[in-house]
Amino acid sequence: SAVISQKPSRDICQRGTSLTIQCQVDSQVTMMFWYRQQPGQSLTLIATANQGSEATYESGFVIDKFPISRPNLTFSTLTVSNMSPEDSSIYLCSVAGADTQYFGPGTRLTVL
Amino acid sequence: GENVGLHLPTLSVQEGDNSIINCAYSNSASDYFIWYKQESGKGPQFIIDIRSNMDKRQGQRVTVLLNKTVKHLSLQIAATQPGDSAVYFCAENWDLRVHAGNMLTFGGGTRLMVKP
């Protein structure tokens, strides 16, 4: 399985600001994903980060709010833009293995 | 996509007992299922998976059962230990356009609490 790290591990931000979350994998992977996990809830897929092309967003998520970069096969970033308290969540990146997905430790975001 | 297991119930068990965590899925076309364990402050960890052509798969202290007739998935943990305390999520692959496991829909999760 891949080793995945995320930065920052947590942050407290003011509303109206933006935060960029980094995801680093120790091996090249084709598919990377970004999820949101709201407090006490399950995981919701935000988008698939595609290397060399624009991310594919799920219903309810838009590029202006959650811009994603994927400059190479080991790295991706997710930006949470113009934050509001409703954006307080854990943000997780994952990578696709042969059959399943492996997750990073998550970034716990609190928006005041 | 259709939802898998909307609720987040809590299961409390005594250390040493067996635990059974259930999950109902609604998409009969799903062909691959996974159980994840998420400890506090960590990302989900893969526990065990099963394909739709199987009805049972065993791992170390864990067994997954799949009943396609009633669209039900369960995770059995034998001799539950305090370290098993976590939230457990089932996930299904319903996007048949891509390789199994690459596109997942997560259930609501169950919190397992192990009493010493």
Q: Which of A4, A92, A102 sits opposite B46 (nearest CB)?
A: A102
CA B60, A28, B30: angle at the middle one, nearest 5?
50
Backbone CA torsion sign across A75, A80, A85, A87: negative
Q: Which residue has the higher pLDDT, A88 or A99?
A: A88
Residues in B closer than 8 angstroms to A43, CB to CB, are: 44, 89, 106
Q: Among residues of chain A, what percentage have pLDDT more than 90?
A: 83
Cβ proximity of B8 and B38 under 8 Å = no
CA A48, A108, A85: angle at the middle one, nearest 5?
95
Q: Which residue has the higher pLDDT, A1 or A46?
A: A46
Cα of B101 to nearest chain A Cα, Å = 4
Cβ proximity of B32 and B101 under 8 Å = yes
Cα of B85 to nearest chain A Cα, Å = 15
Cβ proximity of B75 and B51 under 8 Å = no
Q: Which of A94, A100, A108 sits opposite B49 (nearest CB)?
A: A100
Cβ proximity of B49 and B35 under 8 Å = yes
pLDDT of residue B13: 96
Mutate to test the interface with A, among B7, B30, B102, B111 (most CBs of A within 10 A): B102
Residues in A closer than 8 angstroms to B48, CB to CB, are: none
Residues in A closer than 8 angstroms to B108, CB to CB, are: 41-42
Residues in A closer than 8 angstroms to B97, CB to CB, are: none
Selection from B44, B43, B81 nearest residue A107 by Cα: B43
For A13-19, what is the mean pLDDT?
97
Kindly report the number of other CB atoms within 10 A of residue A15's CB atom.
Answer: 12
pLDDT in tens, B48-65: 999 999 999 999 999 999
Backbone CA torsion sign across A48, A50, A56, A61: positive
First to last CA, chain B: 39
Structure tokens at B15: 């250390």
Structure tokens at B51: 């394909």
For A21-26, what is the mean pLDDT?
97
pLDDT in tens, A80-93: 999 999 999 999 99
| pLDDT, mean of each 10-residue run, chain B (116 residues) | 53 96 88 93 93 94 96 96 96 64 80 93
pLDDT of residue B3: 39
Mean pLDDT of chain A: 94
- Confidence category of residue A77, pLDDT binned at 50, 70, 90: very high
Structure tokens at A72: 């190479």
